[in-house]
Structure 1
Amino acid sequence: MEFCDECGSMMKTEDGVWVCGSCGYEKARDAQEEAAMTTTSAQEESEVIDTSDVDAEDIGPTTEVHCPECGNDRAFYEMKQIRAADESETRFFTCTECEHKWREDDH
């Protein structure tokens, strides 16, 4: 993947050059530089995992939290970085009873 030196947008290849779709800036392609790039075409797709037969203890950590749907007091949780790297992670919950999903800052 290449980014435009002028505006920072993602560039696409056309006829041996990188072309910015936003500002039209063109840059010559470099075979050595591109060989070092990671491409998604070489990566394997991850498989979907069926967790219906997995014991609750094996799915992940749980915490004591009130489910807004059913009132249960236990939920699985996971932390995800969804904002800029300098901001804190967001905690997502899944109720152990009704499987309702919500995030920590939802009200």
Structure 2
Amino acid sequence: MKFCPNCGKVLLPKQGILHCYDCGYEQKVTENEKQDYIIEKDVSDKQNIIVTGDKINTLPTTKGLCYRCGNRELEWWLIQMRKADEAETRFYRCTKCGNTWRRSG
């Protein structure tokens, strides 16, 4: 997902380019970026946009080691599994293979 450098809004496809419907900024999509975007149809500023796909990363990342594939970048999140006076459980997910594990304490 690309954002407008002027106003920070999401750039959306319009006639083969990425367009900001707030300030009018436009940006061409490079050949390398074309494989990152699937443009099914152009959108207007009055349509609701739903971004789907598993490439969208909203979790924080950290450096670590995936014991399955050896990748060194991991997503992580915390969940309170037991009583509030006990430590939360930290989950890790490999950004390459999706292997997920947890660490308590």
Normalised to the residue count of structure 1, the TM-score between the two structures is 0.45
Determine which structure has more spread, i.e. the larger CA radius of gyration: 1
Q: Which has the higher helix share?
A: 1
